[in-house]
Structure 1
Amino acid sequence: MKNLLKKYLSWSSKEKWLFWQVLLRMIQIKTQLRFKNFETFKKWYAELDTEEYDFDELKQAIQRAATVSPKHFTCLPQALVFKKMARPYNVILVIGVQASEKMNLDAHAWCEQQGKVLIGDVPDFQYLPLWIWE
Structure 2
Amino acid sequence: MGKAGGYIGKWNSLSGYGKITFLKSVFCLLWIKAGLSLLSFSTFRKFFHKLTGNQTSKEFSQEQIDMTVWAVDTAANLLPLELLCLPRALATKYLLRGAPSLTLEIGVEINPAKKFEAHAWIEKNGTIIIGDWPTSISYQRLWVWE
Aligned residues of 2:103 and 2:124 also touching (Cα < 8 A): yes
Offset of 1:43 from its aligned partner? 2.1
State the shift of 1:37 in Å.
0.8
- Looking at structure 1, the residues matched to 16 and 86 of structure 2 have their Cα atoms a distance apart, in angstroms, of 27
Q: CA RMSD in A?
A: 2.7
Deviation at 1:127, TM superposition (A): 1.0
Contact 1:75/1:120, CA 8 A, preserved across alignment? yes
Residue correspondence of structure 1 range 1-134 to structure 2 within 5 A = 2=4, 3-48=6-51, 54-69=64-79, 72-90=82-100, 91-99=102-110, 103-124=114-135, 125-134=137-146
User: How many angstroms apart in 2 are the aligned matches of 1:130 and 1:70?
Assistant: 30
Amino acid at match of 1:76: L
How many residue pairs are counted as aligned between the two chains?
134
Q: Deviations over 1:26-71 (max 9, x none)?
A: 1000100000012211222123369x65312211211221121375
**Structure 1 runs not aligned, ≥5 long:** none
- Letter of the 1:75 counterpart: C
Moved over 6 A (4+): none
Q: Normalising by the residue count of structure 2, what TM-score does the alignment of the two structures yield?
A: 0.77
Which blocks of at least 5 consecutive residues in structure 2 are unaligned? none
Which one is further off, 1-10 or 99-108?
A: 99-108
